Chain A
Amino acid sequence: MAVSELTLAAEQHAHAVTTEASGAVLENSWLLIALPLVGAAILLLGGRRTNSWGHWLAVALPLASFGWAVAALLHMLGAPPEERSYAVPVYTWFSVGGFDAEVSLLLDPLSISFALLITGVGSLIHIYSVGYMAHDDRRRRFFAYLNLFVAAMLVLVLADNYALLFLGWEGVGLASYLLIGFWQHKDSAAVAAKKAFLVNRVGDMGLLIAIMLMFTTFGTVAFHDVFGAAGEAGQGLMTAIGLLLLLGACGKSAQLPLQSWLLDAMEGPTPVSALIHAATMVTAGVYLIVRSGAVFEAAPAAQLTVAIVGAATLLAGAIIGCAKDDIKKALAGSTMSQIGYMTMAAGLGPIGYAAAIAHLITHGFFKAGLFLGAGSVMHGMNDEVDMRRYGGLRGAMPVTFATFGLGYLAIIGFPLLSGWWTKEGIIAAAFESGGAAGMVFGAAALLGAGLTAFYMTRVMIMTFFGKRRWADDAHPHESPASMTVPMIVLAVGSVALGAALVFGYRFAAFLEPAIGAPEHHHAFSMATMLTSWPSLAALGLMVLGVATAWFMYGRREVARTAPRAGLVTAAARNELYGNAINEGLLMRPGQQVARALAAFDTSVVDGLVNGIGTSVRDSSRGLRGAQTGFARTYALTMLFGAAIVVATLAVRI
């Protein structure tokens, strides 16, 4: 089909009408969630009996979910675009009097894309974990948590209202907490888990308040009803809701200023970093913003804030990634940065939604691949994470090198690979959004592209090229097939998926019924993609970044210990002093405020509460006196009671 026709068609069905699901596949799409949930329940409740086969069950169930999601997608594609939105009533929680509490799912192009990503990449990482966690005593528990995560994440993206979304949101938070702290014998892991939990509380609070505001304003939290009424509510209120939603998104997606937990979260096992802290959970914020598009359309100030937060995070994450010697933390900085791209695009409005989601999908593949590669390297290097102790690993681990290399090329935006297509989409969208703001966002995206090329090349060179700087007892070896096969599949995705999605607007057109279409598509052709000045600039900056990294780390010897650093490097190594800023700006004044509040609390509030508490307690003690234990007293009480009963009736004579 010609591009222009598709574009036209897309504009005609900009907003799909949600109909009740029909057919066995769609009607039973609650199975998508139920399957992994059952897995988690069996593994957790089954105890040691499931030790020998539990992990295979845990692999099979998300795979089955993936199969179901594919079937649902095929069904959906069979329908005309404007009908590709299905309400799937799961069940009525309860209905009493005039109040109905329904649980139902929304299956539309946006949610099915996420479902496919979560179950697809999720299944691959489950398979990988079979090899990676083979020697762990608590493997069963690990797989139970992974299944729990998949189920909760699916609840998050398939919910058709904010309340159910919040349930999934808390569910993934719980799974993330359990998995970051999985190696709880390590103090650092326990602390990191706690930190992630606490920082996420701040974001969750924002989301919760936003949901409450929606309920008081619209009397409902269902997507359909809220979005329908969003335009009619006051500007100030919508801005408040939008900013609170953004706060929730910042917590979950590690965007400024709630980014600090993500780097510490790398204490979790590497498959967890790949699945939760790179491919899926951390993108939930982007999902929230895109899904709530109607809210942000009604609140331009909040929308602009989203884009600013995204742009700032994409630069901050990239700078942090440039200086980290810990391979996982370098990749985590990169994750922050890439999600920053998506958030920025989501803040541009309809023109950026499709680009944001497309980049989210391809990023899910290449970043998961990079993390699995890092895990494979660590697996062969006695869990060493310091890249200054790597070097020259390409000979020892050819498959890991090849797959990691393809992921690397994808993320730096090597022409025609996945990352190139989708990142170009975001850069183009930023420039085309117009105005000074558009220029600034576009410039930030271009600068980010250069930095990405630099830090990823640095990771690549320090790990796979140069001299061997291994520890004496290191015997690097290639990982088993259960680990390399998922890496190969993800590498294929890293190479080809971008073209498959972007070429011919396929993905954007597919998403449009769900997220709305921009007023005009930017001119699209291979020729313009290769010759427009932003893409040429991006290409140039990419080459510059690669070359700089090559001169700094490829030509020169890499020291086994980190050299003394200049101002900028030191700042980057310290995560741009994010923790110190948190401490200085939030924790210390927070403690001061807390102390002041505590003083107020003890003198005034406690006085009041304690007063009530004390009076309740005192009256409780007094009343206890009536319970003498003597049957005669009880009989007398009953007689008095009878007198009261008769008296209250006697007034009716």
Chain B
Amino acid sequence: MSTPLLVTAAPTITENPPQIDYWLLSPMLVVFGAAVIGVLVEAFVPAARRRAVQLGLALAAVAAAFVLSILIVGALPADGPGETLAFGSVAVDRVSVFLQGSVLVLGFVSLLLIAENRRGESAFAAQAAAVPGSEEEREHVMAGSQHTEVYPLVLFALLGMQLFPAANDFLTMFVALEVMSLPLYLLCGLARRRRLFSQEAAVKYFLLGAFSSAFFLFGIAMVYGYAGSVNFAEVAAAVREGGGPLFADGGGRPLLLLGIGLIAVGLLFKVGAVPFHNWKPDVYQGAPTPITALMASCTLVAAFGALLRVFYVPFGGSAADWAPMLWVVAILTMVLAAVVAVTQRDIKRLLAYSSVVHAGFVLTAVVAASPEGLAGAMFYLAAYGFTTIGAFAVVTLVRTHENGPEAGELSQWAGLGRTSPLLAGALALFLLAFAGIPLTSGFIGKFAVFEAAMAAGAAPLVVVGVLSSAVTAFFYVRIIVLMFFADPAETGPTVVRAGLFTGSAIAIGVAATFLLGVYPTPVLDHLLPQPGTEQGESLVATAEGSAG
């Protein structure tokens, strides 16, 4: 990347009003606009038609934003990584557009799950404000009330997720973090069944999320003190030069390291790495399953996108400092989460711990601190997102009895392969992908991240990763064996017929898991630097240049 672009990235105070390239921001603006219109819809459209209008609006906005992202990535200059906008606060480069595109596609599929409505019954509470078990709640259920606010809330969350990995200064990133998190806290508490459980999860998520945000914000203050700026380009420059204007003598190192540590805590909490993972099982289990799918896919993509940008761009110059810390966290994550997952008896908790282990695998690619690591992590996240949405979609269909709640207890899933072979087959494919079996997307993803870590000299980390994979494979395969080879339990679950929306979500999950496993080349080629060409250099610059 040429230096001039890096320099202009820093905000300069001029007398002219700033020129903002709204075209490059359009994917976010479309989602934002639709969310605002959604709020107005709540106020002005009659209740009977609200759901249809909100759903149509949300799907159309996400699809349009995705198309715009595609157009933008096509229009990005071939020789450079991209541009920064709005006083250098937002980076539009190949990495951020890919992550935004992933968030949008995965968000679209999650929206399909959220929209599933079975005889007027969705996954969400009829009236969230009513006390669980009260007469008022019963009246709302009988009246068929619905919370169509869910759709604008999801759109706001998606907006935050789009901005989070594209932020080019710490304050923008913090704002994005909150825009993303606040709607999610709310959405987690809206489950239709086991409402107290769901509300407990929401409160826990909120409290711990606020706690981690405090760490994050405190870390930002430290880094600002060190570098004299929150802009990524300037922080990166300060790190390279050994200190900002205040610390020209180089005495600011403790401030920087403390800042890196505290910011890392905030980000590692969002991706759910051990020991910041405790919220995940509880929240994933308590939240309405479609929201769990949204969090497990889109939030993970966005959070890792931000994590990658923070560690590669502003702190890229001090990789030697933070790499040992990430080693420790990655090993803790891969080992502890895999071990705890072994004795889980609830499918949603199991998938939550599985998500924690996967976060550990992606961290090995972050440690690599190379373009290959970046590409591997991004591929992994996109591939894992499709698979995990599919898996949670399957969970929504298996109920304890007709019109009953979801049958989370794994022992009830025995013999499902005989009664519903298609559904069990789809889940088996997802589990095999989680385990990283060849011809599924999970294999390619694991190969890519481990290869990157290996090339970066992190062989011990790869060994731990492979051992952890073996442990996780054990419990994935155990579920498959349980479904296909065990006799159906007497109190076996009832499988409800997949509606159009849920069916499409599962079908998309199966197709993506299979296609990305059999023919991942187009995606990998898009992400990986081409050997022997200039692009090899320019992708390194993409990471750096996003500062510029």
Q: A629-B282, A644-B275 are in contact. Are A635 and B321 (CB under 8 A)?
A: no
**B521: contacting residue among A95, A99, A619, A624, CB under 8 A:** A95
> Smallest Cβ distance from B468 to chain A, in angstroms?
11
> Which residues from 620 to 651 on chain A have a C-beta closer than 8 Å to any C-beta of chain B?
620-621, 623-624, 626-627, 629, 631, 633-635, 637-638, 640-642, 644-646, 648-651
Instruction: Tell me if A620 and B521 are in contact (CB < 8 A).
Output: no
B208/A94 in contact, CB under 8 A: no
Residue of A nearest to B531 (CB): A98
Q: Are A641 and B275 CB-contacts (below 8 A) given A97-B451, A649-B257?
A: yes
Q: Does the CB pair A627–B340 fall under 8 Å?
A: yes
- Give B259 Cβ to nearest chain A Cβ, in Å: 10
Q: Is the CB of A616 within 8 A of B471?
A: yes
Closest to B253 in A: A653
- How close is B389's CB to chain A, nearest CB, in angstroms? 22
Which stretch from B10-18, B262-270, B409-417 is at the chain A interface?
A: B262-270
Cα–Cα distance between A623 and B339 once the two chains are bound (Å): 8
Indicate if the CB atoms of A96 and B447 lie closer than 8 Å. yes
Chain A residues with CB below 8 A from B211, complex form: 635, 638
In the complex, chain B residues whose CB is within 8 Å of the CB of A637: 275-276, 278
Cα A651 to Cα B253 in complex, Å, equals 12
Interface stretch, picked from B29-37, B136-144, B322-330, B490-498, is B322-330
Q: Determine if A96 and B528 form an interchain contact, defined as CB atoms under 8 angstroms apart.
A: yes
**Does A642 lie within 8 Å of B262, measured CB to CB?**
yes
Residues of A within 8 A of B320 (CB): 652
Q: How large is the interface on A (under 10, 10 to 19, 20 to 34, 35 or more residues)?
A: 35 or more
Q: List 12 A-B contacts (CB under 8 A).
A: A93-B518, A94-B447, A95-B528, A99-B447, A99-B451, A616-B342, A620-B342, A635-B207, A645-B329, A648-B324, A652-B320, A653-B257
- The reply on B212 being an interface residue by CB < 8 A is yes
CB A159 to nearest CB in B, in angstroms, measures: 16
A91 touches which one: B276, B278, B447, B519 (CB < 8 A)?
Answer: B519
Q: Say which residue of B203, B258, B372 sits within 8 Å of A631 (CB atoms).
A: B203
Contacts of B257 in A (CB 8 A): 646, 649-650, 652-653
Q: Which residue of A lies closest to B516 (CB)?
A: A94
Closest residue of B by beta carbon distance from A646 = B261
Please, what's the 1-or-0 string for A55-95, where 1 marks a CB less than 8 Å from any CB in chain B?
00000000000000000000000000000000000011111
**Which B residue sits closest to A634, measured CB to CB?**
B278
Q: Are B258 and A638 in contact (CB under 8 A)?
A: no
B376 at the interface (CB under 8 A from A): yes
Of all chain A residues, the one with the shortest Cβ separation from B451 is: A97
Judged by a CB distance under 8 angstroms, whether B166 is at the interface is no
CB neighbors of A among B358-378 (8 A): 372, 376
Which of A617, A627, A635 touches B281 (beta carbons < 8 Å)? Answer: A627
Kindly list chain A residues whose C-beta atoms are within 8 Å of the C-beta of B321.
649, 652
For B274, what are the chain A residues with a Cβ–Cβ distance below 8 Å?
641
Closest-CB distance, B373 to chain A (whole angstroms) = 10
* B208:A631 contact, CB within 8 angstroms: yes
Chain B residues near A642: list those with CB within 8 A: 215, 261-262, 265
Contact A644 B328 (CB under 8 A): yes
B204 to chain A: which residues have CB within 8 Å? 631, 634
- Having A644-B275, A652-B324, one finds 15 other A-B pairs with CB under 8 Å, namely A92-B521, A93-B520, A93-B521, A94-B520, A99-B447, A624-B340, A627-B282, A631-B203, A641-B268, A641-B276, A642-B261, A645-B268, A645-B325, A649-B257, A649-B261
Q: Which chain A residues border B328 with CB–CB below 8 Å?
A: 644, 648
Q: Which of A155-186 contact B (CB under 8 A)?
A: none
Q: Is the CB of A627 within 8 A of B520?
A: no
Which residues from A are CB-within-8-Å of B452? 96-97
Q: Which residues of B contact A649 (CB under 8 A)?
A: 257-258, 260-261, 321-322, 325
Question: In whole angstroms, how far apart are the Cα atoms of A627 and B346 in the complex?
Answer: 14
**Chain A interface secondary structure, helix, strand, loop or mixed?**
helix
Residues of chain A touching chain B, judged by Cβ–Cβ distance below 8 Å, are: 91-97, 99, 616-617, 619-621, 623-624, 626-627, 629, 631, 633-635, 637-638, 640-642, 644-646, 648-653
Shortest distance in angstroms between A215's beta carbon and chain B's nearest beta carbon? 15
Chain B interface residue number, banded: 35 or more
> Which B residues are CB-close (under 8 A) to A638?
208, 211-212, 265, 269, 275-276, 278
Name the contact of B343 in the complex, choosing from A620, A633, A634, A652 (C-beta under 8 A): A620
**Which residues of the other chain, A, contact B215 by a CB distance below 8 angstroms?**
642
Which residues 305-345 in B have Cβ within 8 Å of A in the complex?
A: 320-322, 324-325, 328-329, 336, 339-343
Interface status of B279 (Cβ within 8 A of chain A): yes
CB nearest to A640 among chain B residues? B275
Find out whether the CB atom of B524 lies under 8 angstroms from the CB atom of A94. yes
Q: Is B230's beta carbon under 8 Å from chain A?
A: no
Partner of A621, one of B207, B208, B343, B524: B343
Contacts of A97 in B (CB 8 A): 372, 451-452, 454-455
Set of chain B residues within 8 Å of A616, measured between Cβ atoms: 339, 342, 471
Chain B residues closer than 8 Å to A619, beta-carbon distance? 339
Contacts of A629 in B (CB 8 A): 282
Min Cβ gap A640→B in Å is 6
Instruction: Check A620 against B451 for contact (C-beta < 8 Å).
Output: no
- Distance of A648 Cα from B253 Cα, bound (Å): 14
- Complex CA–CA separation, A3 to B221 (angstroms): 91
- In the bound complex, CA of A634 to CA of B452 (Å): 33
Q: Which of B264, B282, B376 contacts A645 (CB 8 A)?
A: B264
Instruction: Report if B444 contacts A (CB, 8 A).
Output: yes
B343 contact set on A, CB distance < 8 A: 617, 620-621, 624
Residues of A near B518 (CB, < 8 A) are 93
Q: Which of A96, A637, A652 has the most CB atoms of chain B within a 10 A radius of its CB? A: A96
Determine the distance from Cα of A631 to Cα of B451 in the docked complex, in whole angstroms.
38
**How far apart sit A545 and B343, CA to CA, in the bound complex (Å)?**
70
Nearest chain A CB to B411 CB, angstrom units: 16
- Docked-complex contact B275 and A646, CB < 8 angstroms: no
Quick one: CB contact mask for B241-263 with A, threshold 8 Å, 1 for yes?
00000000000011001101110
Complex: A640 Cα to B268 Cα, angstroms: 14
Q: Mark B520-534, 1 if CB is under 8 A from A, else 0.
A: 110010001000000
- Find out whether the CB atom of B376 lies under 8 angstroms from the CB atom of A634: no
Residues of B within 8 A of A96 (CB): 372, 376, 444, 447-448, 451-452, 524, 528
CB distance from A301 to the nearest CB of B (A): 35
Nearest residue (CB) in B for A650 is B257
Q: CA–CA, A33 to B518, complex, Å?
A: 16
Chain B min CB distance to A496 (Å): 43
Looking at the assembled complex, report how far the CB atom of B58 sits from the nearest CB atom of chain A, in whole angstroms: 30
Please determine whether A91 and B339 come into contact, CB atoms closer than 8 angstroms.
no
Measured CB to CB, the closest approach of chain A to B313, in angstroms, equals 18
Given contacts A629-B282, A649-B260, A653-B253, contact A634 B342 (CB under 8 A): no
Docked-complex contact A93 and B519, CB < 8 angstroms: yes
Instruction: Tell me the complex Cα distance, A646–B454, Å.
Output: 26
A92–B451 alpha-carbon span in the complex (Å):
17
